[in-house]
Structure 1
Amino acid sequence: MREADETTRRRIADALREEPATPSALAVAFDLTPDAALGHVEHVARSVGGNGEQLLVAPPTCRECGFDGFDELLNRPSRCPSCKSESVDEPTFTIE
Protein backbone atom coordinates (compact mmCIF):
# COMPACT_ATOMS: atom_id res chain seq x y z
CA MET A 1 0.00 0.00 0.00
CA ARG A 2 1.31 3.42 -0.92
CA GLU A 3 2.02 5.84 1.90
CA ALA A 4 0.09 8.58 0.07
CA ASP A 5 -3.05 6.40 0.18
CA GLU A 6 -2.63 5.85 3.91
CA THR A 7 -2.20 9.56 4.48
CA THR A 8 -5.27 10.37 2.41
CA ARG A 9 -7.31 7.75 4.27
CA ARG A 10 -6.15 9.06 7.62
CA ARG A 11 -7.06 12.61 6.56
CA ILE A 12 -10.47 11.43 5.32
CA ALA A 13 -11.08 9.62 8.62
CA ASP A 14 -10.12 12.75 10.56
CA ALA A 15 -12.45 14.86 8.40
CA LEU A 16 -15.33 12.42 8.96
CA ARG A 17 -14.76 12.59 12.71
CA GLU A 18 -15.25 16.36 12.52
CA GLU A 19 -18.33 16.52 10.29
CA PRO A 20 -20.43 14.38 7.92
CA ALA A 21 -19.51 14.41 4.22
CA THR A 22 -20.70 12.99 0.90
CA PRO A 23 -18.40 11.27 -1.63
CA SER A 24 -18.49 14.40 -3.81
CA ALA A 25 -17.55 16.66 -0.90
CA LEU A 26 -14.66 14.36 0.02
CA ALA A 27 -13.57 14.28 -3.62
CA VAL A 28 -13.38 18.08 -3.75
CA ALA A 29 -11.67 18.38 -0.37
CA PHE A 30 -9.00 15.78 -1.14
CA ASP A 31 -8.62 16.25 -4.92
CA LEU A 32 -10.03 12.82 -5.80
CA THR A 33 -12.78 11.44 -7.99
CA PRO A 34 -16.00 10.57 -6.12
CA ASP A 35 -15.38 6.88 -6.88
CA ALA A 36 -11.85 7.07 -5.45
CA ALA A 37 -13.27 8.81 -2.36
CA LEU A 38 -15.73 5.92 -1.94
CA GLY A 39 -12.86 3.42 -2.15
CA HIS A 40 -11.04 5.27 0.60
CA VAL A 41 -14.20 5.42 2.73
CA GLU A 42 -14.66 1.64 2.35
CA HIS A 43 -11.15 1.11 3.70
CA VAL A 44 -11.69 3.62 6.50
CA ALA A 45 -14.88 1.76 7.48
CA ARG A 46 -12.87 -1.42 8.02
CA SER A 47 -10.06 0.26 9.94
CA VAL A 48 -12.03 2.41 12.41
CA GLY A 49 -13.65 -0.62 14.07
CA GLY A 50 -10.42 -1.42 15.90
CA ASN A 51 -10.55 1.94 17.64
CA GLY A 52 -14.03 1.38 19.06
CA GLU A 53 -15.42 3.78 16.46
CA GLN A 54 -17.78 3.10 13.61
CA LEU A 55 -18.56 4.59 10.23
CA LEU A 56 -22.17 5.73 10.12
CA VAL A 57 -23.90 6.07 6.76
CA ALA A 58 -26.98 8.13 5.99
CA PRO A 59 -28.26 6.23 2.95
CA PRO A 60 -28.78 7.71 -0.49
CA THR A 61 -32.28 9.16 -0.78
CA CYS A 62 -34.48 9.78 -3.80
CA ARG A 63 -35.59 13.42 -3.94
CA GLU A 64 -38.73 12.47 -5.86
CA CYS A 65 -40.27 9.63 -3.84
CA GLY A 66 -38.13 9.52 -0.68
CA PHE A 67 -36.90 5.95 -1.26
CA ASP A 68 -33.87 5.17 0.92
CA GLY A 69 -33.75 1.37 0.88
CA PHE A 70 -30.76 1.07 -1.41
CA ASP A 71 -28.93 -2.27 -1.19
CA GLU A 72 -25.42 -0.81 -1.22
CA LEU A 73 -24.94 2.10 1.15
CA LEU A 74 -21.35 2.74 0.06
CA ASN A 75 -22.38 3.56 -3.48
CA ARG A 76 -23.55 6.53 -5.52
CA PRO A 77 -26.72 5.26 -7.22
CA SER A 78 -27.54 6.81 -10.57
CA ARG A 79 -31.30 6.41 -10.23
CA CYS A 80 -34.01 5.31 -7.86
CA PRO A 81 -35.10 1.66 -8.18
CA SER A 82 -38.60 2.61 -7.02
CA CYS A 83 -39.61 5.55 -9.23
CA LYS A 84 -36.66 5.49 -11.70
CA SER A 85 -35.87 9.17 -10.99
CA GLU A 86 -32.26 10.23 -11.50
CA SER A 87 -32.62 12.77 -8.69
CA VAL A 88 -30.87 10.84 -5.90
CA ASP A 89 -28.91 12.39 -3.04
CA GLU A 90 -25.56 10.81 -2.25
CA PRO A 91 -24.94 8.92 0.98
CA THR A 92 -23.42 10.90 3.84
CA PHE A 93 -20.65 9.48 6.03
CA THR A 94 -19.51 10.28 9.56
CA ILE A 95 -17.35 8.54 12.15
CA GLU A 96 -18.46 8.28 15.78
Structure 2
Amino acid sequence: MREAERTTRRRIADALREEPATPSELAATFDLTPEAATRHVEHVARSVDGDGEQLLVAPPVCRECGFEEFDDLLNRPSRCPECKSEAIEEPTFTIEPA
Protein backbone atom coordinates (compact mmCIF):
# COMPACT_ATOMS: atom_id res chain seq x y z
CA MET A 1 0.00 0.00 0.00
CA ARG A 2 1.37 3.41 -0.93
CA GLU A 3 2.10 5.93 1.83
CA ALA A 4 -0.58 8.32 0.55
CA GLU A 5 -3.25 5.59 0.78
CA ARG A 6 -2.65 4.82 4.45
CA THR A 7 -4.66 6.69 7.08
CA THR A 8 -3.00 9.01 9.56
CA ARG A 9 -3.84 6.61 12.39
CA ARG A 10 -2.28 3.68 10.55
CA ARG A 11 0.85 5.72 9.85
CA ILE A 12 1.02 6.78 13.54
CA ALA A 13 0.62 3.15 14.64
CA ASP A 14 3.41 2.08 12.27
CA ALA A 15 5.66 4.86 13.58
CA LEU A 16 5.00 3.82 17.20
CA ARG A 17 5.88 0.22 16.35
CA GLU A 18 9.27 1.49 15.11
CA GLU A 19 10.18 3.80 18.00
CA PRO A 20 8.63 5.64 20.98
CA ALA A 21 7.33 9.16 20.38
CA THR A 22 5.77 12.07 22.28
CA PRO A 23 2.66 13.93 21.10
CA SER A 24 4.87 16.82 19.92
CA GLU A 25 7.09 14.48 17.92
CA LEU A 26 4.06 12.84 16.30
CA ALA A 27 2.57 16.26 15.59
CA ALA A 28 5.71 17.41 13.82
CA THR A 29 6.02 14.20 11.82
CA PHE A 30 2.38 14.07 10.68
CA ASP A 31 1.62 17.81 10.47
CA LEU A 32 -0.88 17.80 13.36
CA THR A 33 -1.31 19.62 16.65
CA PRO A 34 -0.11 17.70 19.73
CA GLU A 35 -3.74 17.49 20.87
CA ALA A 36 -4.82 15.93 17.57
CA ALA A 37 -1.90 13.50 17.74
CA THR A 38 -3.03 12.45 21.23
CA ARG A 39 -6.60 11.87 19.99
CA HIS A 40 -5.27 9.70 17.18
CA VAL A 41 -3.16 7.72 19.67
CA GLU A 42 -6.28 7.10 21.80
CA HIS A 43 -7.96 5.50 18.76
CA VAL A 44 -4.82 3.57 17.86
CA ALA A 45 -4.76 2.14 21.41
CA ARG A 46 -8.26 0.69 20.92
CA SER A 47 -7.43 -0.80 17.54
CA VAL A 48 -4.19 -2.54 18.57
CA ASP A 49 -5.73 -3.97 21.74
CA GLY A 50 -7.31 -6.91 19.91
CA ASP A 51 -4.40 -7.46 17.52
CA GLY A 52 -1.99 -9.03 20.01
CA GLU A 53 -0.31 -5.68 20.59
CA GLN A 54 -0.57 -3.04 23.27
CA LEU A 55 0.04 0.67 23.51
CA LEU A 56 2.49 1.46 26.29
CA VAL A 57 2.62 4.92 27.82
CA ALA A 58 5.54 6.37 29.75
CA PRO A 59 3.70 8.91 31.94
CA PRO A 60 4.33 12.63 32.03
CA VAL A 61 6.97 13.55 34.61
CA CYS A 62 7.65 16.81 36.44
CA ARG A 63 11.20 17.95 35.66
CA GLU A 64 11.40 19.81 38.98
CA CYS A 65 10.32 17.23 41.57
CA GLY A 66 9.95 13.98 39.59
CA PHE A 67 6.20 13.60 40.25
CA GLU A 68 4.66 11.09 37.83
CA GLU A 69 1.34 10.05 39.40
CA PHE A 70 -0.81 12.10 37.02
CA ASP A 71 -4.43 10.98 36.58
CA ASP A 72 -4.47 11.12 32.77
CA LEU A 73 -1.40 9.44 31.30
CA LEU A 74 -2.10 10.48 27.71
CA ASN A 75 -2.30 14.21 28.20
CA ARG A 76 0.42 16.57 29.33
CA PRO A 77 -0.82 18.46 32.40
CA SER A 78 -0.27 22.20 32.59
CA ARG A 79 1.42 22.05 35.99
CA CYS A 80 2.59 19.66 38.68
CA PRO A 81 0.12 19.12 41.55
CA GLU A 82 3.03 18.67 43.98
CA CYS A 83 5.39 21.59 43.31
CA LYS A 84 3.22 23.65 40.88
CA SER A 85 6.02 23.68 38.30
CA GLU A 86 5.02 23.97 34.65
CA ALA A 87 8.11 22.03 33.55
CA ILE A 88 6.35 18.79 32.65
CA GLU A 89 7.78 16.18 30.27
CA GLU A 90 5.29 14.87 27.74
CA PRO A 91 4.11 11.26 27.85
CA THR A 92 5.84 8.89 25.46
CA PHE A 93 3.96 6.26 23.44
CA THR A 94 5.09 2.99 21.90
CA ILE A 95 3.38 -0.12 20.53
CA GLU A 96 4.74 -3.52 21.50
CA PRO A 97 3.53 -7.12 21.27
CA ALA A 98 1.21 -8.08 24.14
Same fold (TM over 0.5): yes
The alignment status of 1:92 with 2:92, answered yes or no, reads yes
> Structure 1 residue 38: deviation in Å?
0.3
> Structure 1 residue 95: deviation in Å?
0.2
Residue 52 of structure 2 is matched in structure 1 by: 52
Separation of aligned partners in 2, 1:82 and 1:45: 29
- Which amino acid in structure 2 is aligned with residue 21 of structure 1? A
* CA deviations over 1:19-78 (Å, ceiling 9, x no partner): 000000000000000000000000000100111100000000000000000000011111
**Paired residue secondary structure (1:54):** strand
**Paired residue secondary structure (1:24):** helix
Residue 31 of structure 1 is matched in structure 2 by: 31
Separation of aligned partners in 2, 1:76 and 1:88: 7
> Structure 1 residue 10: deviation in Å?
0.2
After the TM superposition, which parts of structure 1 deviate over 4 Å for at least 4 consecutive aligned residues?
none
Separation of aligned partners in 1, 2:46 and 2:13: 11
Alignment of 1:54-69 (within 5 A): 54-69=54-69
Separation of aligned partners in 1, 2:50 and 2:92: 22
How many corresponding residue pairs? 92
Select the structure that is richer in helix.
1
Residue 21 of structure 2 is matched in structure 1 by: 21
**Paired residue secondary structure (1:26):** helix
- Which amino acid in structure 1 is aligned with residue 50 of structure 2? G
